[in-house]
Amino acid sequence: MINPHPGLPELEYVMPASLDEASKFLIEHTGEAKPFMGGTDCFVRLRDGAWNLKYLVNVKGLDGTNEIRFDPKNGLTIGAAVPMNKIVSHPDINKHYPLLTEAARTVASYQLRSRATIGGNICNASPAGDTIGACIVYGGKLNVHSIKGKRLEPLASFFKGPGKTVLEPGDIVTSISFPLPPPNHVGRYIKLGRNKISDLAIVGVTVLGYPDSNAKSGYTFKIALASVAPVPLVPLKAEQILADKPLNENIISEAAQAAMDSCTPIDDVRSSARYRKYMIRNLTRQALTDVWQKIKK
Amino acid sequence: MSFHRIILTVNGSTEQVDVPGNMTLLQMLREKLALTGTKNGCAAGECGACTVLMNGEPVNSCMVLAAECNGADIITIEGLARDGQLDVIQKTIIEQGGVQCGFCTPGMLISARALLNRNPHPKEEEIREALVGNLCRCTGYNRIVSAVKAAAEVQ
C-alpha cells in the first residue's frame, strides 16, 4: 500500500567528508544506516515502512562517485552516483557502450532518471534492474570501498537474492569499471512492460554479440535475463549452444528454449510465471536474431 | 532531530532555510516557503505532480531531500512567468484547453519547459516520452501534447 503522506519517517541525513568516515559510520550503525545515492527506491521503501532506518549516509560526490571516465586503452569507469540521464547523454558511452545507453534510457521517467543512479540500480539487487543486464554482458566489475581497503567485485557473483548482495556493512560501491567492449559488437535490450515506456520489466532480455574466431560458431553471445529468477540470470547453456553450433534460425530457437528452461520466475502483480517463461523464449529469440542479422559476415 | 541550514536559489531569490534531515524538497517548498503551486500526488516518484527544475533538470521534488539542496537553483511553477509575462508553454496550454482539474498542470508544465530547453523542436513521440512521468488523471493528454507542440512552434 502506497503511503501518500509526503513526509519521510524521522531520520537523520549524514554527510561524511570521506569514504572512510562513511564506512566507519555505517559499521557503527549496522542495521539502522544505509548508504544513500539517488533515493528513488530508498524513499519509497522508507515511506512504505519496508525499511526502518535512523540514518541516510550520503556518499554522492565522495572520491569520484560522480565521475565518468573513458580511456581508449583501458575502458570505462562510471561513478556509482552518476544518474541515468548523464549515462544516456554521455558521448563516449553512446559510441563505445551503446547498450548501456539503451538500457539506461528505459529506466522509469525522465525526472526519475535525473536522480536514479547506476550504483543504486545495481546495489538494490532487484531482479528487474534495467541496467544490470548491460553491465553484466559488458563484463562490469564493481569497485568497493571498505575499512579493510578497496576491492573489485565481479557482477557475475555479486547478487545473492532479491535485494541481497555480497556487500557487508561498511562496504560502499564507488564505481563500476568495464573493459574495452569487444570489437564490432552489437547489443540489444528488449524490455517487456505493461506499457510501452516507463514501467518495471515484466521480463527483460539483454543480448550482446560479436564475431569471435575463438568460438566454434565464429560468434560469441552474452545474455542476461531480468525478472525471471531471484537474481539477474545469465543462461550459460544458451550461450554455450550459440558458441558451439553453426548459427541458423533453428540454433537460435534452441538457444532461446534453453534460456527459457533456465528461468525460475514467480507469479506477481505484474505477470504470471508461465507468461514470463514464454516471453523469455520469444524475446530472447527476437533479440538474438536482431543481433545476429547485424553481426553476421 | 538535527537541522541543516541550507542556502539556495528559488525562482531567482536567495533563500536560507533550516530543514530537518527527513524533509523533502517538496515539503520545504510548500511548508517553509509557502510555494504551494508544486503539488503532492503520490509521494512515490510516479505521478510527477511535484516536478520542479533543480539546476536546470526536472526532478520529482518528493524524491529529493531538502538538505541535499544546499547551493541548488530551483525553479517551481511560480517561477515560470517572467516580468509579468507567462511562459509560452503556459499560454499555449490555456489556448489549447490543456487544463482540466489542474492538479497535474504545474508538474506537467515544468517537464514541458525542461523538454523545450533541451530540445526546442521535439517530435510528438519525444513529447510523449518526456511527459511519461507526469500523470493526468483527467486523461487530457492529447491537448497537453498539442500545447507543447504549439509552444515549440511559437518559441
Shortest distance, CA B19 to any CA of chain A (angstroms): 11
* Residue indicated by cell numbers 519496508: A50
Q: Smallest Cα–Cα separation from A271: which of A131, A163, A132, A127?
A: A127
Same domain, A149 and A124: yes
How are strands ordered across the β-sheet holding A203-211? A186-192, A203-211, A219-226
Residue A146 lies in a domain: yes
So what's the ipTM on this one?
A: 0.94
Q: Smallest Cα–Cα separation from A65: which of A104, A26, A108, A122?
A: A122
Question: Chain A, 185-214: which have a CB under 8 Å from a chain B CB?
Answer: 197-198
CB contact under 8 A, A111 and B60: yes
Q: Which residues pair with B73 in a beta bridge?
A: B9
**Cα gap B82→B99, rounded to integer Å:** 21
- pLDDT attached to residue A210: 98
CATH number for A141: 3.30.465.10
CATH number for A48: 3.30.43.10
Same domain, A226 and A263: yes
- pLDDT attached to residue A4: 57
> Are A64 and A175 within 8 A, CB to CB?
yes
Find chain B residues with C-beta within 8 A of A111's C-beta: 45, 48, 51, 58-60, 111, 133
Predicted confidence (pLDDT) at residue B108 exceeds the cutoff of 60: yes
Cβ-nearest to B64 among A3, A7, A115: A115
Same domain, A108 and A137: yes
Residue A5 lies in a domain: no
**Cα gap B87→A267, rounded to integer Å:** 48
**Neighbour tally for A24: CB within 10 Å:** 14
Helices A236-244 and A249-261, packing angle to 10 deg? 160
Same domain, A84 and A149: yes
CA A256 to chain centre: 21
CB contact under 8 A, A13 and B65: yes
Domain of A116, in residue numbers = 68-178
CB contact under 8 A, B59 and A85: no
For residue range A175-222, what is the model confidence (pLDDT) as tens digits? 999 999 999 999 999 999 888 777 888 999 999 999 999 999 999 999
Helix ranges (H only) for A3-117 are 19-28, 42-48, 84-88, 91-96, 98-105, 110-115
- pLDDT attached to residue B88: 97
**Mean pLDDT value across residues B97-118:** 98
Residue A63 lies in a domain: no
Count structural domains, chain A: 3
pLDDT > 70: percent of chain B: 100
Residue A1 lies in a domain: no
CATH class of the structural domain B3-79: alpha beta
CATH class of the structural domain B88-154: mainly alpha
A68-71 and A75-79: which strand pairing? antiparallel
Cβ-nearest to B58 among A2, A114, A197: A114
Note the pTM of the prediction, 2 decimals. Answer: 0.95
Residue B13: is it exposed, middle or buried by C-beta count within 10 angstroms (0-12/13-18/19+)?
exposed
- pLDDT attached to residue A3: 56
Same domain, A200 and A117: no
> Which of B25, B46, B59, B148 should be substituted to probe chain A, the one whose Cβ sees the most A Cβ atoms within 10 Å?
B59
CATH number for A239: 3.30.390.50
Residues 6 or more apart from B148 whose CB is under 8 A from it? B89, B92, B112, B115, B116, B122, B127, B131
Residue A4 lies in a domain: no
The domain ranges of chain B are 3-79, 88-154
Residue A2 lies in a domain: no
CA B30 to chain centre: 13
- pLDDT attached to residue A195: 81
Same domain, A244 and A148: no
- pLDDT attached to residue A199: 82
**Cα gap A154→A235, rounded to integer Å:** 17
* Residue indicated by cell numbers 544513500: A36
**Neighbour tally for A145: CB within 10 Å:** 25
Q: Side chain identity at A205, as an amino acid letter? A: V
Question: Chain B, 71-110: which have a CB under 8 Å from a chain A CB?
Answer: none
**Cα gap A81→A142, rounded to integer Å:** 13
Residue ranges in chain A modelled with pLDDT below 50: 1
Shortest distance, CA B115 to any CA of chain A (angstroms): 10
| C-alpha distances out from residue A63 to A15, A142, A154, A265, Å | 14, 15, 20, 38
CB contact under 8 A, B68 and A47: no
CB contact under 8 A, A7 and B21: no
**Cα gap A226→A122, rounded to integer Å:** 12
Same domain, A281 and A246: yes
Q: What is the mean pLDDT of chain B?
A: 97
For residue range B17-74, what is the model confidence (pLDDT) as tens digits? 999 999 999 999 999 999 999 999 999 999 999 999 999 999 999 999 999 999 999 9
Q: What nine digits make up the cell of A252? A: 537460435
CB contact under 8 A, A111 and B44: no
Shortest distance, CA A256 to any CA of chain B (angstroms): 31
Residue A6 lies in a domain: no
pLDDT > 90: percent of chain B: 98
Q: Side chain identity at A52, as an amino acid letter? A: N
Q: What nine digits make up the cell of A138? A: 559488458
Q: What nine digits make up the cell of B61? A: 521534488
Query: In a 3-state reduction of DSSP, which class is residue A257?
Result: helix
A114 at B interface, C-beta within 8 A: yes
